[in-house]
């Protein structure tokens, strides 16, 4: 599967980014109700802009000036600040809501494929480049991208890193496709300045052909201070692995999303707390259907229920809407879908192409994808 897997994760067919930002809290009372009312007032039918009329929220494109870059890495800090990372070693940052973008790409990275970015604020961020062997690297900046430090370079030709996540500003993990029959986990306790490979004794054996998808930076996600989930595909069954001790030991559960092919499986996860999560995926090939492309859990991933009305096609990214227990967005090359019942049913609200999505507590939702596309949800 490696040649196809290399295409899948290495050439822009799938892949990129997000960090479980430290310190995110859920507001209550009137603020919650107001945010939910604004962000879920999306019509059942919408076109490319998602705004057929009225004051409903819609994706507002932001010109990045990079039409040849595909951004699968996205870290939204707030409504004003976001980082994106993608092909051609490109990293961009905005601090004014997307009106202007600064190219803050690491020097000498033009040949790399950035698929995940985790940002703590406007100055501090960590980016992951994916690929076999030394193509998998991690860089960190503390000055808004003015300078970068390479903090990890993979020297094992059998490893292929896909995604990162952070529990807080210091503690984070990165994951590689299986090495010697088990997924490999990197750990940092200093904000990504240094990394250590964790022991694999607590990792279940991988299925033949099983791997992660570097499609949106959401194949490895966390919630709270210790819980982390890993999404898989490519094997006879799609699965979700869960660790409650920052990656030392794992349990595994089958997910009701079709697999059985290197192009199928769970591509992205999102957890709004340590028990309630969403999974999306399908078959990334444009000429193949993706039935049952979404599922949800209410018990930390021990069991998953398929969506009664799933998205109509493959979806590579998913995010809970801020201050909501029931609303979330899923994105993919053929559109954006909304659920307002915690993943039981989904409806398409936009037909634009996006690969990844991220939302912030101040009601900032961002999406990114091919042809330099970045957008923010606007009223």
Q: How far apart are the first and last CA of the chain?
A: 44
- With 0-12 / 13-18 / 19 or more C-beta atoms within 10 angstroms meaning exposed / middle / buried, residue 346 is buried
| 247: nearest Cα among 232, 268, 225 | 225
pLDDT in tens, 266-303: 999 999 999 999 999 999 999 999 999 999 999 999 99
CB 317 within 8 A of CB 214: no
H or E stretch covering 132: strand 125-132
Return d(Cα 30, Cα 152) in angstroms, integer.
Answer: 44
pLDDT at 3: 33
H or E stretch covering 32: helix 29-39
| 179: nearest Cα among 156, 201, 162, 202 | 156
pLDDT at 27: 36
CB 160 within 8 A of CB 130: yes
> Which are the contacts of 268, defined by CB distance < 8 A and separation ≥ 6?
213, 215, 216, 218, 219, 231, 279, 280, 281, 315, 316, 317, 318, 330, 356
pLDDT at 161: 98
- With 0-12 / 13-18 / 19 or more C-beta atoms within 10 angstroms meaning exposed / middle / buried, residue 347 is middle
Instruction: Tally Cβ neighbours within 10 Å of residue 108.
Output: 10
Return d(Cα 310, Cα 43) in angstroms, integer.
Answer: 17
Return d(Cα 239, Cα 241) in angstroms, integer.
Answer: 7
**Residue labelled with tokens 């009372």:** 29
> Which are the contacts of 347, defined by CB distance < 8 A and separation ≥ 6?
44, 309, 337, 338, 339
CATH of domain 2-378: 2.130.10.10
Return d(Cα 358, Cα 368) in angstroms, integer.
Answer: 9
Return d(Cα 247, Cα 64) in angstroms, integer.
Answer: 36
Q: Which residues of the chain have a pLDDT value below 70? A: 1-57, 379
Cα dihedral 244, 248, 249, 250 in deg (nearest 10): 70
Instruction: Tally Cβ neighbours within 10 Å of residue 57.
Output: 22
pLDDT at 56: 56
Return d(Cα 302, Cα 106) in angstroms, integer.
Answer: 40
H or E stretch covering 178: strand 172-179
């Amino acid at each position: 599967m490696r040649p196809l897997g290399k295409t899948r994760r290495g050439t822009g067919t799938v892949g990129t980014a997000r960090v479980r930002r430290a310190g995110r809290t859920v507001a209550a009372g009137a603020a919650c109700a107001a945010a939910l009312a604004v962000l879920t007032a999306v019509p059942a039918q919408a076109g490319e802009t998602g705004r057929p009329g009225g004051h409903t929220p819609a994706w507002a494109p932001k010109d990045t000036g990079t039409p040849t870059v595909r951004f699968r890495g996205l870290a939204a800090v707030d409504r004003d600040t976001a980082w994106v990372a993608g092909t051609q070693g490109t990293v961009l940052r905005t601090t004014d809501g997307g009106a202007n973008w600064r190219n803050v790409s690491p020097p000498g990275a033009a040949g790399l494929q950035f698929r995940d970015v985790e940002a703590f604020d406007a100055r501090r961020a960590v980016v992951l480049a994916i690929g076999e062997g030394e193509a998998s690297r991690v860089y960190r900046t503390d000055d808004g991208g003015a300078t970068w430090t390479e903090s990890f370079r993979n020297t094992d030709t059998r490893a292929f890193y896909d995604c990162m996540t952070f529990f807080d500003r210091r503690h984070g993990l990165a994951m590689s496709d299986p090495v010697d029959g088990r997924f490999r986990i990197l750990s940092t306790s200093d904000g990504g300045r240094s990394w250590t490979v964790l022991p694999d004794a607590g990792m279940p054996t991988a299925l033949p052909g099983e791997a992660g998808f570097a499609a949106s930076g959401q194949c490895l996600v966390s919630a709270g201070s210790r819980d982390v989930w890993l999404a898989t595909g490519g094997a006879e069954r799609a699965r979700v692995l869960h660790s409650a001790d920052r990656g030392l030991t794992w349990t595994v559960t089958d997910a009701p999303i079709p697999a059985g092919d290197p192009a199928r499986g769970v591509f992205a996860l999102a957890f709004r707390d340590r028990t309630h999560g969403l999974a999306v995926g399908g078959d990334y090939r444009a000429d193949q259907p993706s039935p049952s492309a979404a599922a949800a859990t209410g018990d930390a991933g021990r069991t998953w229920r398929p969506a009664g009305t799933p998205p109509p096609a493959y979806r590579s990214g998913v995010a809970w809407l801020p201050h909501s227990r029931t609303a979330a967005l899923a994105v993919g090359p053929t559109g954006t879908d909304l659920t307002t019942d915690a993943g039981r049913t989904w409806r398409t609200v936009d037909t634009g192409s996006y690969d990844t999505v991220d939302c912030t507590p101040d009601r900032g939702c961002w999406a990114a994808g091919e042809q330099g596309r970045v957008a923010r949800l606007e009223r």
